[in-house]
Amino acid sequence: MPTSTTTTSEVDVLIIGAGPAGLMACNALAKAGINVRIVDKRPQKIGCGHADGFQPRTMEVLQSYGLCERLLREANQMHLAAFYNPNPVTGGIELTDRTPDIPEPSARYPFEALLHQGALEDIFIDSMKESGVEVCRPIMPVSIQIVETEKDLTDLDAHPVRVVLKRLDSLEGQTDTEVVRAKYVIGADGAHSWVRRSFNIEMEGEQTDYVWGVVDMIPDTDLPDIRNKCAIHSNHGSCMLIPREGDKVRLYIQVGSRDALDPTSGRLDKDQMNPEKLLNIARKAFAPYYLNTPKDIEWWTMYRIGQRVAARFAVDNRVFIAGDACHTHSPKAGQGMNASMNDTHNLAWKLVHVIRGWADPSIMTTYELERRKYAQDLIAFDKQFARMFSGKIKTAGNEDGDVSVEEFTRSLELFSGISSGIGIIYQQSAIVDTRHQSVAKNLIIGKRLPPQLLVRAADHRPFELQDLVPSDTRFKVLVFTGDIYEPIQKDRLAKLAVKMGANDAFLKRYSPGGDIFAAFDILAITMKKEEKMVVRHTDLPDLFRTHWSKVFIDTKPLRGMLGGDAYSNFGIEATGAVVIVRPDGYVGMVAPFERIGHINAYFAQFSK
Amino acid sequence: MPTSTTTTSEVDVLIIGAGPAGLMACNALAKAGINVRIVDKRPQKIGCGHADGFQPRTMEVLQSYGLCERLLREANQMHLAAFYNPNPVTGGIELTDRTPDIPEPSARYPFEALLHQGALEDIFIDSMKESGVEVCRPIMPVSIQIVETEKDLTDLDAHPVRVVLKRLDSLEGQTDTEVVRAKYVIGADGAHSWVRRSFNIEMEGEQTDYVWGVVDMIPDTDLPDIRNKCAIHSNHGSCMLIPREGDKVRLYIQVGSRDALDPTSGRLDKDQMNPEKLLNIARKAFAPYYLNTPKDIEWWTMYRIGQRVAARFAVDNRVFIAGDACHTHSPKAGQGMNASMNDTHNLAWKLVHVIRGWADPSIMTTYELERRKYAQDLIAFDKQFARMFSGKIKTAGNEDGDVSVEEFTRSLELFSGISSGIGIIYQQSAIVDTRHQSVAKNLIIGKRLPPQLLVRAADHRPFELQDLVPSDTRFKVLVFTGDIYEPIQKDRLAKLAVKMGANDAFLKRYSPGGDIFAAFDILAITMKKEEKMVVRHTDLPDLFRTHWSKVFIDTKPLRGMLGGDAYSNFGIEATGAVVIVRPDGYVGMVAPFERIGHINAYFAQFSK
């Protein structure tokens, strides 16, 4: 007899979709102690194929959650990009250049990491387990609505989003549904996002006729650069090689649109193609190097490049879409998974602050502001990249190509900031205040805090500055003290401590329950004017050395590491500066010692 | 009714004592798949106190087993040594110098790591679990003998050592004993070693009258160097501070022998002392800095410095003693645990090779040869150090001291090689062949392979050379190829490949079951004469590129790391060299390309 059961539950945040975007959000929220739930319709996480490239900024973000060490243990690293182009005489390809894969000079991890998506999902899933959260699957959402009368954003206790979920593994004839009442919902449910379609959000942009095949395998070839990123432009089509974990390589192979699109519908027709056909095309591009068909093809697919951004990323600032649900681009540029995780990294801390009652809900508008702009920039980049890569190369013997070797290389360098994820600059908003940029000329406000090696004053142990500002939901206050033994500066610093420690200044004003360290961490970075100078952490005002581990010196480590020159790298003078770093690692504000009032005003805009 | 049960079992190696020496041995043997058993009389591993300092070489060794990452995650690091001496005018102490704690320039980890012994034991215990081996406890040995008729070392199947073990947690009135028949026994049972006493092995050396107290605590003080190693020589006695994990500090406090030794017996009398008394002594030395008594004393003890080495380290090359069982010295020099682990690191691979039938049992004589010499050097160092440290300091106002500040600092630097563990050089023997030292002038034969950053040819990923020669029981063959694009060198290299690949050369001659890679790993290190040179791993002879991951370039990484100059660091010319690294990471032999015969002879001395 068919039965049906319906249960009802409440949750602070419901996440639909347990891919990279959903898992990044869920891990961040779970670690912050938020009541969060994540559901996915797949019965299991994926085992192979799919996204696999980690950009430098993504590694920095994973590191900020303590997850990069494992990624680096399991992943392959891609340091060099090699370019193969037709030899004008023989017509076969030859190596024309090798360049660093990541030209971005400030990358902490100056390479790409490669690891299949399932392994990444495991890293998140294991981390979430420590907070007692697991992915519920296979579960499909069947309806979603925001209850008009309850959507008032100022009501912290309201659960205005109603989602009906259905179990997909119920016994035959049985229907298990559940009504979830959520404060917030994140739709991280992929390119065909059900959440997006439920709210009729348009995807703006276009499809192209560029079609590519992808094959994952352990290759048998004599191409010397098979373990580097390899861009092959031949007279017989283009290939791109991505060396992966183990001895595997992902091969991207350009396919003529006639061979891949259904002539009547214009749609991609995967049935026309198979791995052997794809390898035959690649083989022609590889000549004079051989490429034998391997015993096993681990995974393969076909895709047509589309470049689209969702018209909105949020509905009533109660439902948010993230990841592939709001932007699609060509996998070859390696951006999809990275942009997705960075979407929810941006979103999570804002939700945490609002749910805890620390931040005004208006802060949520900055999610769309910051991430949609980035997605649009990314699409612009991707368009140019796809055109470059899918076009024919100009050579001495073949002047009628679409793009020259130099043009291609230059465009790659030009976009290194965006492709590495490091070039993102969030625009002026309630949480990005650029007015005192001149106090730290090279520490771009709205951009991520760059890596910098510092030495801890109390024990001379070297530390990476980025590791001192983890994604722990707190704002970090970096006090660049200048030379604490210079009498005038010492006096200014003492006055700064008094002002910043005042009851009406931001530290105490926005400290939940009077505990400064719930919402803030304070680090001091002192100057060492000469090699021989002895810096004692005990010589700082108490507020700037709340523990011996909180004081650092801008100097080189004793041995074996690069470092030092933080003040000059950041463009900070000996008069010092106060730098506010957002919980996601982006510089939110900079101020001179005498403008603490402006920092108070910054926090007043969004803090409660 | 009292009952008694006796069982009998066989094992390849029985280890008595599960401290650092025993666990290092057990982990190494278990990882190598040897049938090993480890017993300890303590019901549980220790929780706090005891040894805690990890020297640079010990960290390198732990890293070679994949265990250093966790150690560094849990341990404190000590980078600076601070020296406090009496101010001639006030008489109170003042900072006179700060120096690197580890002056040794080639240390891969240029600091000491501090972590209590129980945490180290956990690292080994967890690693052993992966090989299915656990510590059996509480179990005490009651008798041991070597059966004369079976001790013939050439009989690989003999189990000549009979040990009777007794369970200490048997029910009342019940006796559970077990007779273990072992091929080899390691006595790692501490300073009062039962194994050593069972074979009447003398401890040679002497006791001193220097007595020290040790207190572990979280200190309340305004001494600015409380997180550095701190040597305090005051007019009111000496102290040494070791900052530990968490906020803890270990305080070594010199005690007058009258206050600590029983006047009639001359023995250490712990009852005369307590932590408060010790802190009172320290307080006087600290002045003008304050030192309040903390709420909790985590651990405390007293010791009298003794410097002794066992007369023998082995009995019939069937029973070996290791660690504190064969050498004792002052804890303050931080050597005990380090020397202990390095003893069994030296011993383990030799046992593995003999038990597998790869090496002639005569190789076992090199254990005593190599480690007893080191223990004697260590004692000589320790004597001088103890005298220095326990003596009175000479100052401008106090000329009748025993030792000057300069003398003290100089002696520390002089012994940095031995105190860091890096200076050890094993002497000429069957496994150390120094005849071709001139081919790699700075790669001292008998010394550990120093760290060196290399770049992998196939993918330009940076690697630490030490990580390419892990403790996996294999000999490593490093082929420094020179410039593979220089025609004469290319030709010499091709000839080397032919000779080394011949059936009668060492690689095939000593490959168990014809598998070269069971007993050897082969790495090639190529030269890059100019920045622009393109090195292809595919251009090397097949024998030197058995996998794309086996070829390296002596060049700087693209960014963010120091490195390069391996050839000049090691003193190797463009004509190249073949370097044999022992399974424990020590350079065993070096030869020019044309002297492969000498390498064959090297292996012929101990291989089967």
Any idea which of A44-58, A155-169, B225-239, B279-293 has the lowest mean pLDDT?
A44-58
pLDDT tens digits, one per residue of A280-313: 999 999 999 999 999 899 889 888 877 899 999 9
Query: What mean pLDDT is predicted for residues A566-581?
Result: 97
Distance CA A466, CA A566 (A): 13
Burial of A316 (0-12, 13-18, 19+ CB in 10 A): middle
pLDDT for B70 equals: 95
Taking residues A76-82, what's their average pLDDT? 95
Q: Would you name the residues of A annotated as active-site residues?
A: 52, 244, 252, 331
Phi, psi torsion values for B274, nearest 5 degrees: -150, 170
pLDDT tens digit string along B3-29?
788 899 999 999 999 999 999 999 999
Residues of B in contact with A105 (CB under 8 A): 559
- pLDDT for A465: 98
Q: What is the value of pTM for the model shown? A: 0.92
Residue A396, pLDDT > 80, answer no
Tell me the per-residue pLDDT of A90-113, one tens digit each, with 9 for 90 and over: 999 999 999 999 888 899 999 999
Probe site for chain A from B111, B289, B546 (most A CB atoms < 10 A):
B111
Weakest mean pLDDT among A207-211, B35-39, B563-567: A207-211
Write the single-letter amino acid at B350: K
The pLDDT confidence band at residue A397, using thresholds 50, 70 and 90, is: low
Structure tokens at B185: 């026994």
The answer to whether B219 contacts chain A (CB < 8 Å) is no
Read off the pLDDT band of A383 (50, 70, 90): confident
Amino acid at A418: I
* Contacts for A154 with CB less than 8 Å, ≥ 6 apart: A361
pLDDT tier at B260 (50, 70, 90 boundaries)? confident
Highest-confidence segment of A386-400, B260-274, B366-380, B392-406: B366-380
The residue with tokens 């040995």 is B141
Cα(B540)–Cα(B551) distance, integer angstroms = 9
Q: Is B52 a residue of the active site? A: yes
Percent above pLDDT 90 for chain A:
72
Q: Which residues contact B490 (CB under 8 A, 6 or more apart)?
A: B484
Per the CB < 8 A criterion, the answer to whether B505 and B499 are in contact is yes
Q: Do B562 and A562 touch (CB under 8 A)?
A: yes
Extract the tokens encoding B140: 């005490």
Q: Chain A contacts of B458, Cβ < 8 Å?
A: 226-228
Between chains, do A226 and B458 touch, taking CB under 8 Å as contact? yes
User: Are B562 and A561 inside 8 Å of each other by CB?
Assistant: yes
Tell me the Ramachandran region of residue B200: left when phi exceeds 0, alpha when psi lies from -120 to 50, beta otherwise.
left
CB nearest A548 (choices: B95, B105, B227): B227
In the prediction, which pLDDT does B513 show?
85
Pairing mode, if any, of strands B36-39 and B135-136?
parallel
**Does residue A519 or residue A174 have the better pLDDT?**
A519
Q: What's the whole-number average pLDDT of chain B?
A: 91
Cross-chain residue pair A79–B460, CB shorter than 8 Å: yes
Asked whether the beta carbons of residue B95 and residue A534 sit closer than 8 angstroms, the reply is yes
pLDDT confidence band for A143 (50 / 70 / 90): very high
Q: What is the C-alpha end-to-end distance of chain A, expressed in Å?
A: 55
**Distance, CA of B136 to CA of B184 (rounded, Å):** 18
Characterise B235 by phi-psi region: left (phi > 0), alpha (psi -120 to 50), beta (else): alpha
The pLDDT of residue B407: 73
Residue with tokens 């276009």: A206
B257 phi and psi angles, rounded to 5 deg: -65, -25
Place of tokens 């739930």: A37
Position B328 scores a pLDDT of: 85
- Judged against a pLDDT cut of 80, whether residue A518 lies above it is answered with yes
Q: What is the ipTM of this complex?
A: 0.90
Does the beta carbon of A545 lie under 8 angstroms from any beta carbon of chain B?
Answer: no
Q: How far is B227 from chain A (nearest CA, A)?
A: 5
Active-site residue flag, B259: no
At B113, list the tokens: 């790591």
Which 8-state DSSP code applies to residue B432?
B
Three-state SS sequence of A33-84: CCCEEEECCCCCCCCCCCCCEECHHHHHHHHHCCCHHHHHHHCEEECEEEEE
Give the integer Cα–Cα distance in Å for B164 and B180. Answer: 6
Instruction: Pick the range with the lowest mean pLDDT from A512-516, A559-563, B75-79, B376-380.
Output: A559-563
Q: Specify the pLDDT at position B332.
A: 57
Q: Could you read off the pLDDT of B524-533 as tens digits, one per residue?
A: 999 998 878 8
Name the minimum distance, in Å, from the CA of B460 to any CA of chain A. 6
Give me the pLDDT at residue B334, please. Answer: 62
What's residue A155's pLDDT?
Answer: 83
CA B140/CA A220 separation, integer angstroms: 58
A227 and B458 in contact by Cβ < 8 A?
Answer: yes
Question: A173: distance to nearest CA of chain B, Å?
Answer: 46
pLDDT single digits (tens) A436-461:
999 999 999 999 999 999 999 999 99
pLDDT at A596: 97
B218–chain A Cβ distance below 8 A for any pair: no
Percentage of residues of chain A with pLDDT beyond 70: 94
Chain B: residue whose CA lies nearest to A460: B79
Where is mean pLDDT largest: A203-207, A388-392, B335-339, B537-541?
A: B537-541
Which token pair is A536? 């004692």
Mean pLDDT of A546-567: 90
Q: Is A288 on the interface with B (CB under 8 A)?
A: no
Residue B257 binned pLDDT confidence (cut-offs 50, 70, 90): confident
Q: Is A518 on the interface with B (CB under 8 A)?
A: no
Amino acid (1-letter code) at residue A445: I
Assess whether pLDDT exceeds 70 at residue A331: no
Q: Which among B86, B141, B331, B450 is annotated as catalytic?
A: B331
Active site residue B252: yes
Nearest chain A residue (CA) to B539: A224
- Stated length of chain A: 608
Task: Report d(CA B392, CA B330) in Å as an integer.
Answer: 18
Please state the rounded mean pLDDT for residues B376-393: 75
B-interface mutation test, from A76, A79, A550, most B Cβ less than 10 A away: A79
- A23 close to A38: Cβ distance less than 8 angstroms: yes
- DSSP assignment of B50-63, as one string? S--EE-HHHHHHHH
Radius of gyration of chain B (CA): 26
* pLDDT exceeds 80 at position A46: no
* Cis status, amide bond into A470, omega within 30 of 0: no
Distances (CA, A) of A49 to A70, A115, A249: 19, 9, 11
CB contact under 8 A, A228 and B560: no
Does any CB of chain A come closer than 8 Å to the CB of residue B502?
no
The Cα A357–Cα A155 span in angstroms is 10
A332 has a pLDDT exceeding 60: no
Q: Mean per-residue pLDDT for A21-50?
A: 92
Taking CB atoms and an 8 Å limit, are B226 and A458 in contact across chains? yes
Position with higher pLDDT, B480 vs B170: B480
Inter-chain touch B536–A79, beta carbons under 8 Å: no
pLDDT of residue A554: 96
Give the bridge partners for B14, in sequence order: B37, B185
How far apart are alpha carbons A40 and A43 in whole angstroms? 8
Mean pLDDT within B63-89: 95
Q: For A548, name the nearest residue in chain B, comparing CA atoms only.
A: B227
In three-state secondary structure terms, A597 is helix
Give the model's pLDDT for residue A462. Answer: 96
Q: How many residues does chain B have?
A: 608
SS3 A588: strand
pLDDT at residue A282 in the model: 95
Q: Helices H, strands E: what count in chain B? A: 16, 30
Q: What would the DSSP string read from start to end of A476-528?
A: EEEEEEE-TTSHHHHHHHHHHHHHHTSTTSHHHHT-GGG-HHHHEEEEEEEE-
CA gap B150, B182 in Å, rounded: 11
pLDDT value of residue B124 = 98
* Mean pLDDT, rounded, for A381-391: 72
Q: Give the CA count within 13 Å in the CB-facing half-sphere of B305.
A: 28
Task: Give the bridge partners for B602, in sequence order.
Answer: none
pLDDT tens-place string over residues B544-569 = 999 999 999 999 988 767 788 999 99
Chain-chain contact of A534 with B227 (C-beta, under 8 angstroms): no
Peptide bond into A138 cis (omega under 30): yes
Distance from CA of B470 to the nearest CA of A (A): 16
- CA distances to A142, B99, B211, B238 from B391, in Å: 82, 21, 12, 8
Residue A416 pLDDT level (bands cut at 50, 70, 90):
confident
Instruction: Classify the C-alpha dihedral B371-B374-B376-B381 as positive or negative.
Output: negative
